[in-house]
Structure 1
Amino acid sequence: MDFVTDYSLFLAKSITVVLAILAIAGGIIALAGRGRPLGKQRLEVKYLNREYDDMAHTLKAAMLPKKVFKQLLKTRKQEIKRSREQTPDDPSKDKKRIFVLNFHGDIRASAVASLREEITVILTVARPADEVVLRLESGGGLVHAYGLAASQLTRIKDKQIRLTIAVDKIAASGGYLMACVADHIIAAPFAVVGSIGVLAQLPNFNRFLKRHDIDFEQFTAGEFKRTVTLFGENTDEDRARFRQEIDETHRLFKAFVKTHRDLDMATVATGEHWYGTRALELKLVDELCTSDDYLLDASKTAELYQVSFKPKKPFIDRLSSLASILDKGHMGRYRSEVGIHEIK
């Protein structure tokens, strides 16, 4: 009985300590998050110039003698301090700014939810001399979804801000519907580009239902409310009308592309796709270059800011991050300030 009593007291004390730690950690997270906008997303901005510099500095740490590196580190701290004292909106500071966005498209173009917010926030601060670079990766999808994504990009053009779209892997079909809006399109040599066409396909289970004595009934108002169907019997008239709808969508697609780029539509609007080298010959893109090379070169003369809306992390993930920071202690703060990921 004494053992049970002692163990119960020990267990109660342990639980109390754990709960107290969690309460304190929760309070710290709440204070750290105070002032942030409520909602399911939060804005993240990365200063890419400093990130490039950090990576180069990390490599130098491994290459240079210890004494030389310490002097370099001291100089770097002074440069960071001076840069933080500068006023970003100082009218005398006319250095070009490039805002970098990423769009990874699925069939529903669900990334447009973040894209519209990112463009909105950029347009509140962008100047005519600035530029937006969108790293685009998409094989296309729903017409209306990618139509909205392309419309979001035209907002940038309407504000007379230069828009560059970089295709490292693929911008086909709906992806190219977005890409064609750009002032300048760059693509990797083996990136897939084009596919200016429309596809629609569906199975039909009508014979299966009949074979199993299953009736399918559908009621519509309007002659063409429904044409081809999954379960009903499709007629030649239904197929012809559906073909008209597909052709009309293709016509709109071609007209939209033609508005933004001077292309030989009879050649490029066949639904085919091409690799970057051939796409350049067909004028589907303007330059063969990866986004990495383009941004690294631009960082020499411009300030690069990567803008993204991210979902808020669950409480348990934020708690884990806090525990990691506390565990690193002073060295963690040092790495955060200076940007060195590892020093041995």
Structure 2
Amino acid sequence: MELLSQYGLFLAKIATIVVAIAVVATLIVNLTQRKRQRGELRITNLSEQYKEMQDDMSVALLDGPQQKLWHKAQKKKHKLEAKNAKANAKKGVTASGDKPKVWVLDFKGSMDAHEVTALREEVTAVLAVIKPQDQVVLRLESPGGVVHGYGLAASQLQRLRDKNIPLTIAVDKVAASGGYMMACVGNRIVSAPFAIIGSIGVVAQIPNFHRFLKNKDIDIELHTAGQYKRTLTLLGENTEEGRQKFREDLNETHHLFKDFVHQMRPQLDIDQVATGEHWYGQQALEKGLVDEIGTSDDLLLGLMEGHEVLNVRYLQRKKLMDRFTGSAAESADHLLMRWWQRGQKPMM
């Protein structure tokens, strides 16, 4: 017994030391992350990436001796370019042949539209350096979600439009409901042929467990100050008056949604397209919901001929706990996305 007691005491000491080390490590990580909490902007030159891909493909088609000659010529070319750039920098001369820039942003929206945090930073960064000849392309993918989240996301894009900056929205997969609210802010919408477009409507559903709880002799008391502070409830008994007010609020939100879309795209027959239906790209083009059929890839490749194309991403550093909880939230969001897809469009 004495041996077991000593062994248990030893294990307790070891556990205490491990916990102490974990606490200290967590504190250090948190202090470090507080300094870096703001995140960082990452800019990728898509034009250079495409040029490198072209070069790789061209070299792959050459035989061994030709590849050596090509690499030698490229090395000589890069050396000369670096020398000229250094000489111009010493003279304070800027490159006169600078191409206008295309700033590419990405928004892959979730149900709660939390990606708007990064979008607002990216828009702010672009506004800080953009020139009159530049333009912005947003690659958008979203089935919509909460009204206030997508309302803010659309407002961030509105900042570009208010500055008269050409904004093109490229939709490869889906821009529906709140996603289309964002898309319609653009001066031009380019959609892939089978992308899902539209769904200009508002939906809300809420389960009610009142009868189940009543059968179990469980009472729920709900106290509010204000006649419509709570219209429908999960656990209490819903009234017809509450349902009517809930529908009125839903219709009012739909009315605001319609007005916003019509303001952005006045050529639309808003009553015809604001039925909550969605359409594929080609159908959406016929109804005026989009302006052109094509993929974001072809759009950007076409712009590379006369522009420097740069991708801007804001990366938020996640806290230690968020790294564990974030994956679970992302899985739940993917599940909601699949439910939406099964209910709103045919499987194929």
TM-score norm. by structure 2 comes to 0.76
Q: Is the 8 A contact 1:60 1:69 kept in 2?
A: no
Question: Is 1:60 the counterpart of 2:58 in the alignment?
Answer: yes
Indicate how the Cα distance of structure 1 residues 54 and 76 shifts in structure 2: closer, same or farther if over 3 A, else same: farther
Amino acid at match of 1:73: Q
Distance (whole Å) between structure 1 residues aligned to residue 97 and residue 60 of structure 2: 35
Match of residue 48, structure 1, among 31, 46, 49:
46
Could you tell me which residue of structure 2 aligns to residue 134 of structure 1? Answer: 138
Could you tell me which residue of structure 2 aligns to residue 154 of structure 1? Answer: 158
Alignment of 1:253-332 (within 5 A): 253-261=257-265, 262-312=267-317
Report deviation, 1:158. Answer: 1.0
Distance (whole Å) between structure 1 residues aligned to residue 231 and residue 68 of structure 2: 77
Amino acid at match of 2:274: A
Distance (whole Å) between structure 1 residues aligned to residue 146 and residue 319 of structure 2: 31
Q: Is the 8 A contact 2:207 2:234 kept in 1?
A: yes
Q: Is the 8 A contact 2:201 2:276 kept in 1?
A: yes
What SS does structure 2 have at the residue aligned with 1:167?
strand
Distance (whole Å) between structure 1 residues aligned to residue 185 and residue 78 of structure 2: 42
Report deviation, 1:129. Answer: 1.6
Give the unaligned 5+ runs of structure 1.
Answer: 1-36, 316-344
Report the identity percentage.
51
Alignment of 1:99-248 (within 5 A): 99-248=103-252
Q: Is the 8 A contact 1:193 1:274 kept in 2?
A: yes
What SS does structure 2 have at the residue aligned with 1:124?
helix
Distance (whole Å) between structure 2 residues aligned to residue 84 and residue 199 of structure 1: 57
Q: Could you tell which deviates more after superposition, 59-68 or 282-291?
A: 59-68
Q: Is the 8 A contact 1:128 1:159 kept in 2?
A: no
Indicate how the Cα distance of structure 1 residues 257 and 314 shifts in structure 2: closer, same or farther if over 3 A, else same: closer
Report deviation, 1:46. Answer: 0.5
Report deviation, 1:50. Answer: 0.6
Q: Is the 8 A contact 2:118 2:316 kept in 1?
A: no
Indicate how the Cα distance of structure 1 residues 297 and 83 shifts in structure 2: closer, same or farther if over 3 A, else same: farther
Indicate how the Cα distance of structure 1 residues 246 and 80 shifts in structure 2: closer, same or farther if over 3 A, else same: farther
What SS does structure 1 have at the residue aligned with 2:129?
coil
Give the unaligned 5+ runs of structure 2.
Answer: 1-34, 321-348
Indicate how the Cα distance of structure 1 residues 77 and 112 shifts in structure 2: closer, same or farther if over 3 A, else same: same
Distance (whole Å) between structure 2 residues aligned to residue 124 and residue 219 of structure 1: 49
Amino acid at match of 1:147: G
Report deviation, 1:90. Answer: 4.2
What SS does structure 2 have at the residue aligned with 1:70?
helix
Amino acid at match of 2:69: V
Query: How many residues in Structure 1 have an aligned counterpart in Structure 2?
Result: 280
Report deviation, 1:97. Answer: 0.7
Distance (whole Å) between structure 1 residues aligned to residue 223 and residue 100 of structure 2: 60
Q: Is the 8 A contact 2:191 2:292 kept in 1?
A: yes
Amino acid at match of 1:310: L
Question: Is 1:96 the counterpart of 2:100 in the alignment?
Answer: yes
What SS does structure 1 have at the residue aligned with 2:138?
strand
Could you tell me which residue of structure 1 aligns to residue 15 of structure 2? Answer: none
